[in-house]
Amino acid sequence: MWWHYLIGYGFSITGSYFMIGKLLMKAQWKNLGQTGNEKEDGFLPRKELPSMVGNIECVLYTSSWLLGRPEFIAIWLVLKVAGGMKSWTEEVTLGKIKFVGRNIFNVFLIGNALSISFGVVGAKIIQWLNKESYTLAIIVPVLLVIGVLVLWGYTKYLWKKSYKELYSKTIA
């Protein structure tokens, strides 16, 4: 049925956009020192580009899974890794902020793992709904969202912890 596809692709895209892009990645970059404020950071990142790529990726991941071609996901990741490899091996300065390349790579890995998860779960939702496995079509996406929320909370906890440590050293 057509609505199975609407729900599956809808979960894949909106879940990725809000849970990864707007919530978790924002917290991850803040944890690395980026505020998202042009005056404070000294640069204005093109925030819409990663969001567009992420939405397209989720459609591609969902489609490749449904078409029985999950190897496309690996090929896509190889292309992405090749494009960012240099910035992950050295320190990168963006505006006033210096990033350790390995930290950028770790944020990349977290974002991609979750993007693939949302894409594949979107495809599985379609398959489960086609088989009338409504329980799985509800429980698995809910668990994924809960997992992202737990990761987001942990990231915020780490940021507050590191901020307090930095602040206490500055005062001392």
Q: What is the pLDDT of residues 84-99, one digit of tens each?
A: 666 667 776 766 666 6
**In contact, 8 and 126? CB cutoff 8 Å:** yes
Q: How far apart are CA 139 and CA 142, in angstroms?
A: 5
Give CA 48 to chain center in angstroms: 14
37 pLDDT exceeds 80? Answer: no
Name the helix (H) or strand (E) containing 93: strand 92-94
Q: How far apart are CA 123 and CA 144, in angstroms?
A: 14
Radius of gyration of the chain (CA): 18
Look at residue 159 in the predicted model and tell me its pLDDT.
74
What predicted TM-score, i.e. pTM, was given to this entire model? 0.81
110 pLDDT exceeds 80? Answer: yes
What's the CA angle centered on 17, arms 59 and 41, to 5 degrees? 130
Write out pLDDT tens, residues 132-171.
999 999 999 999 999 988 988 888 787 777 655 554 554 4
Looking from the CA of 129 toward its CB, the CA atoms found within 13 Å total 19
* Contacts of range 83-92, beta carbons closer than 8 Å, 24 or more positions apart: 84/108
DSSP assignment letter at 134:
H
